[in-house]
Amino acid sequence: MSTTLTEGAAPVLDASLKRRLRRTTRRHRLRAFALTMPLLAFIVVFFALPLVDMMARSFYDPKVADSLPETMRVLDTWDFEGLPPEAAYASVAGELLDLNEAGTLGSLALQLNHEIAGARTILLRTANELDGDDAAADGSFQDRLISIHPQWGEQEFWSTLKIMGEAFTLRHYLGAFDHRYDAMGEIVARPEYEQIHLMLFGRTLWASALIVLLTLLLGFPIAYHIANSPPHVGNLLLILVLLPFWTALLVRTAAWIVLLQQQGVLNDLLVALGLISDDGRLRMMHNMTGTIVAMTHIMLPFMVLPLYSVMKSIPPVHMRAAASLGAPPFLAFVRVYLPQTKPGIGAGCILVFILCIGYYITPALVGGRTGQFISSFVAYHIQQSLNWGLAAALSGVILVAVLLLYLLYSRVFGGDSIRLG
């Protein structure tokens, strides 16, 4: 009978133990989640939300629509043929007067000035000179506005105003790819003298790829030597690789300015050695040469560390086994050692490439006109032109390029193969 009771109690005990185990597991998970909450909140508030807000600005721009709602309602029925109806002139005249009285006309004028040259002058002059009584007595708001500024009589001006009045728009992404809407609302390429973003994207991509190649050629033997040196020597070399991180970025960039300028240390040394004449000093600053040199130096540790991490985990016995089987040193290196470093090569390349695409300070200081990256124009539109929509679109293109690059890396190397140190 006792045996029967014991057998009957076993399922009850198992169920009780499972419930206690689930409660314990749940408590551990809640405790772990609570510990990560500060970090999660920090990421959401200071990274995710600003990123979402910035990306939303690239396709959502309601400033003109909110400032001129009645004018936009009238222009909805206009088909870009000829000039808009008299009602559009009457509504824009009244709304400009209201905005000027409310003190918000300046922000609208600045917004329109991004697409319409001289829009700020046109709107402010119109609002200051507009006399509603005279216009009404004359019976034509159209004649009154055109008399104030002749651009009110141009179809392209009204076409651009209508297009900018669309809250959800692709014009910022069109601008990022050097395109725009014409007077008929069709997508066309910008004039050649205004096409700069595609050139900058191309320059950024090929320069970043070149920097990746240079850092790989320089970093691979450095990482190999560190990984295969005695511990005391390897640690010292690793400290030397990390030493640039202990110096401010601006200080390192300024040091390269001192070294590379025409009256700098490197040119003085070449002149002293008789390799170049004093009149033939090399121009290595404020061009792509300076950007490549400085960026290669700055990015080199980001290539060395992933390579070192992978190389340190490769057993030395593999090379000795290849040699014992009769493989020459070079063949053993290529066929046995090099394939095992593929995760480090992939991680270092993608890390350096992504950092280069978004780098701003060094190209801006040493690159000059021909050595700047697309990130310099993102900063320009945010800080100076205040065209945040275009800056967001350019950033969105960079973000998509980075995501595509990561997907390609995951497909080739596998997403779980990243080894950064």
What pLDDT score does 115 carry?
Answer: 85
- Rounded Cα gap, residues 5 and 68, in angstroms: 84
Instruction: Tell me the helix, strand and coil percentages in the chain, rounded to 5.
Output: 75, 0, 20
Residue 418 pLDDT > 90, yes or no? Answer: no
* Sequence spans of domains, the chain: 63-165, 197-417
3-state secondary structure of 281: coil
- Rounded Cα gap, residues 178 and 374, in angstroms: 13
- Rounded Cα gap, residues 362 and 383, in angstroms: 17
What pLDDT score does 127 carry?
Answer: 87
37-61 pLDDT, tens per residue? 888 899 988 888 988 988 899 999 9
What pLDDT score does 307 carry?
Answer: 93
3-state secondary structure of 170: coil
148-206 pLDDT, tens per residue? 899 999 998 999 899 998 889 899 999 999 998 888 888 899 888 888 999 999 999 99
16-32 pLDDT, tens per residue? 777 788 888 888 888 88
3-state secondary structure of 88: helix
What pLDDT score does 142 carry?
Answer: 86
330-350 pLDDT, tens per residue? 888 888 888 889 889 988 999
All residues at 6 or more sequence positions from 136 whose CB lies less than 8 Å from its CB, including other chains: none
What are the beta bridge partners of residue 188?
A: 180
126-142 pLDDT, tens per residue? 888 876 554 444 567 88
All residues at 6 or more sequence positions from 398 whose CB lies less than 8 Å from its CB, including other chains: 357, 358, 374, 375, 378
What pLDDT score does 210 carry?
Answer: 95
What pLDDT score does 9 carry?
Answer: 53
Percent of the chain predicted with pLDDT > 70: 92
Neighbours of 146 (CB within 10 A): 16
197-417 CATH, one of 1.10.3720.10, 1.10.10.200, 3.30.565.10, 1.20.140.10: 1.10.3720.10
HSE-CB at 256 with a 13 A cutoff on CA atoms is 26
Mean pLDDT of 71-92: 90
* Per-residue confidence band for 15, with pLDDT thresholds at 50, 70 and 90: confident
- Rounded Cα gap, residues 183 and 74, in angstroms: 17
DSSP count for the chain of H helices, then E strands: 23, 2
